[in-house]
Amino acid sequence: MSTHRLSLNTATTKRWTLEEAVDGVVAAGIESVGLWRDRVAEAGLERAAQLVRERGLRVSSLCRGGFLTAATETGIATALDDNRAAIVEASTLGTRELIMVVGGLPAAPGPEQPATPDGDRDLVAARQRVVDRIGELVGFARGHDVRLVLEPLHPLFAADRAVLSTLGQCLDVASRFDARDVGVVIDTYHVWWDPHLRGEIVRAGQEGRIASYQVSDWILPLAPVALNSRGHVGDGYIDFPTITRWVAETGYAGDVEVEIFNEEIWAQPGERTLATMIDRYTRLVEPHL
């Protein structure tokens, strides 16, 4: 068994600083990290890049860009500015993969906007704005050798976080652009339920668009904050051997990020979280890669 392809997404150890996270993964024998922009901002971009270089770590991805569905000129300009900043951050940190959570409906409260009850509820138009904004960002991203990686989110989050709910929808958007410029992430938590998933994974592989494979489990009951309902691999109801085989059959050879949002896991010592993460990965994921 090998952890060579295992990556800690820093959301999993939310209470660790960036320096604590990179030191933790080195001590655990993990070679890669997926970084969230909040931890990078706390450390400072140049310092963050120095930390991962000094520890000899790969940066599997940067989370996140996106939130592209604003309907006002001010909102559109703000989103484009933030995403250009994220692209520069990804390039500076040494990763090509910028994860894009595309955004929800303007009417819904989300992490990037307050509630606007009289706002736009036009789902079709919101999806078109995602296409339009990606088109405006692709050239800038290409100039920095960064790929925009579309992430489908479970339909539970369609109103406030992502109007793209399936891998197929993300591929339909991505297909308008070169595969080197726009890819997709397969996050088991968000796509495990999809009856068309195997065919969509095959298509993603054939088009050369799989930029990341993220794993965490679907557990019940859902937490009061639904977003924080992820569990360690093996704690819930997702068939990791099957989905992992489907991903492996495409020829995907990149890192496997563990990304967990869970208040109870965040409260545990980071070293314990990493030990559990490694155990579950080596038993339930790695044998099927």
Residue 138 lies in a domain: yes
How many structural domains are present in the chain?
A: 1
Q: Does residue 235 fall inside a structural domain?
A: yes
Q: Which domain holds residue 25?
A: 6-288
**CATH number, residue 257:** 3.20.20.150
Task: Judge contact between 32 and 6, C-beta under 8 A.
Answer: yes
Give residue 109's region: left, alpha or beta (phi > 0; psi -120 to 50): beta
Query: How high is the pLDDT of residue 209?
Result: 98
pLDDT at 114: 64
Give the bridge partners for 136, in sequence order: none
Q: Flag whether 12 is in a domain.
A: yes
pLDDT at 217: 98
pLDDT for the residue numbered 109: 76
Output the CA angle 93-170-119, nearest 5 degrees. Answer: 95
Pairwise CA distance, residues 22 & 27, whole Å: 9
pLDDT at position 112 is 65
Residue 205's identity, in one-letter code, is G
The reply to whether 1 falls in a domain is no
Helix (H) or strand (E) run with residue 183 in it: strand 182-187
Task: For the chain, 289 residues long, give each residue's pLDDT as a single digit of tens.
Answer: 689 999 999 999 999 999 999 999 999 999 999 999 999 999 999 999 999 999 999 999 999 999 999 999 999 999 999 999 999 999 999 999 999 999 999 988 777 666 666 778 999 999 999 999 999 999 999 999 999 999 999 999 999 999 999 999 999 999 999 999 999 999 999 999 999 999 999 999 999 999 999 999 999 999 999 999 999 999 999 999 999 999 999 999 999 999 999 999 999 999 999 999 999 999 999 999 9
Contact (Cβ atoms closer than 8 angstroms) between residue 68 and residue 42: no
pLDDT of residue 110: 74
pLDDT of 145 reads 98
Output the pLDDT for position 113: 63
Q: What is the largest CA-CA distance in the chain?
A: 54
State the pairing for strand pair 182-187/230-231.
unpaired
The verdict on residue 279 lying in a domain is yes
